[in-house]
Amino acid sequence: MKLALPRDYARKVWRAVVEFDLLEEGDRVLVGFSGGKDSSFLLYALKVLQNSAPFRFDLGAVHVDLGFEQLSDVPHLEEFCRQLDVPLTVQKTQIAEIALRRSRNNPCASCAYFRRAVVNEIAAGQGYNKVAYAHHNDDAVETFLMSQLYSGKIQTFLPKSYLDRTNITVIRPLVYLREAEISEFVQTLQYAPMPSPCPFQGKTYRHKVKELIESLTRENPFVYTNLAAAMRRDALGDLWPPAASREEMRQKHQRTMRPAAGDDHVHSE
Ligand code: SF4
């Protein structure tokens, strides 16, 4: 396979790598490879980068079969990795069943948690020091809004985070790419991304938030970029202080009710 990335794509991946210090000489990077468009693009983009970067790093891929009714097309994934000359590990699991048992209506949190644990364990076991995920800019913005709507928190995932329990650093080199750009490029590859086997695809909270952002952006084209700008730490404006505890409230109440010194002398007839 002849490997090349359009200049604009390469620039965005490189910007993330440099700005967030994602890669360095001697890294061993394991890519979480579902076989879908995003992770296929990530694997391809990192391979291009590996061929052109001024430093050496190793690449591997791991596919976690979640155990949905529709099985992963492993030969298809193996062929893509063979063309990229990237070693692939396939791990079969029963994560779907466990996640569904825990929460039939919203299995995503458990599913993602267990999948990450499997990937981290394989990375640590095979001597990788970094795990790369294909989360892109739309994912970051959607997570940012989801956190506020469903968890009451102002946060999103980081481009780079260190997991001290496993000594693994998680990197997300696609954070500056939009989902539509990735879809467009993947169509030019001689590789059909594997459709998601998950029956919850399109029915998740993430999907609702994606539709909400799209619909608001149709009314105001700046909605998406404003949300993206609000993810930066320096975008924080005035926020309320943390809610006072019962004890703090009791003390504040006493202070408020206590008469000011000398109050009982000021009354005149
Ligand atoms: S959409 Fe499906 S595969 Fe993705 S996290 Fe949710 S349950 Fe897991």
pLDDT digits (tens, 9 = 90+) for 57-69: 999 999 999 999 8
Strand locations in the chain, DSSP E?
28-32, 58-65, 88-92, 130-132, 160-163, 168-171
230-254 average pLDDT score: 96
Q: Which residue's CA is the closest to the ligand 1 atom numbered 6?
A: 108
Return the minimum-mean-pLDDT range out of 121-125, 144-148, 189-193. 189-193
Ligand 1 atom nearest to CA at 115: 8
Mutate to test the pocket of ligand 1, among 34, 38, 63, 66 (most ligand atoms within 8 A of CB): 66
d(CA 229, CA 190): 35
- Residue spans of alpha helices (H) in 187-232: 205-219, 223-230
User: Are 210 and 180 spatial neighbours (Cβ–Cβ below 8 Å)?
Assistant: no
Rounded to two decimals, what is the model's pTM?
0.92
pLDDT digits (tens, 9 = 90+) for 2-54: 899 999 999 999 999 999 999 999 999 999 999 999 999 999 999 999 999 99
d(CA 193, CA 208): 23
As beta bridge partners, residue 30 has 60, 131
d(CA 208, CA 199): 16
Ligand 1 atom nearest to CA at 196: 3
Mark 239-253 as b/e (b = at least 16 C-beta within 10 Å): eeeeeeeeeeeeeee
Distance 121 CA to ligand 1 centre (A): 20
Enumerate residues lining ligand 1, CB below 6 A: 66, 99, 107-108, 111-112, 198, 200-201, 204
The mean of the pLDDT values for the chain is 94
Q: Across the chain, how many H-helices and E-strands are there?
A: 10, 6
Q: Which residue's CA is the closest to the ligand 1 atom numbered 5?
A: 108
d(CA 140, CA 231): 8
d(CA 43, CA 49): 10
pLDDT digits (tens, 9 = 90+) for 173-183: 999 999 999 99
Check pLDDT > 60 for residue 56.
Answer: yes
For the chain, what are the domain ranges?
A: 7-235
Ligand 1 atom nearest to CA at 112: 5
Distance 106 CA to ligand 1 centre (A): 9
Domain 7-235 class in CATH: alpha beta
